[in-house]
Amino acid sequence: MSGIRLITREEAVKRAERIRDEYRTISGIEFEVERKFISLEEVVPTQSELSEKKLLVVLQEIKHGYDAPIIVLPHAGRYYILDGHHRAFALKKLGVMEVEALVLVPRGKFIPGIVKTAEKSGLRRLEDMKIRRG
């Protein structure tokens, strides 16, 4: 087909656990992975561009039942995307209000670097990402 392979639910869980372990190593803080539904209004992107080609594939697959959760890190009442930018954007475009997320909850004081990255890039909401053609 397009050469674009989407992550499965099982792979999303494994990826969340791998990211959790990396954050634990870097910060020295324990993190728990919690599965919950969050409002797409509370989601903050941490990358500035999306691939149009991949976005079209994700939109099509969601219409056919694709539902891998996104991976986020909570901070100051918002959820910063670690994995799943295309999924979150596609769901919002389709009018969905909530997304299933694997939330990496820190069990101690922790300010993720991605918060500063998002702020520097002017990213506050999903619509702030640009769609790259090709």
Query: Please, which pLDDT band fits residue 2 given cuts at 50, 70 and 90?
Result: low
Note the pLDDT tens digit of each residue in 67-111: 999 999 999 999 999 999 999 999 999 999 999 999 999 999 888
Give dist(CA 25, CA 22) in Å, integer.
Answer: 5
- Give the closest residue to 71 by CA, choosing from 36, 107, 30: 36
The residues that bridge with 103 in the sheet, in sequence order, are 34, 72
For the entire predicted model, the pTM comes to 0.93
pLDDT at position 134? 67
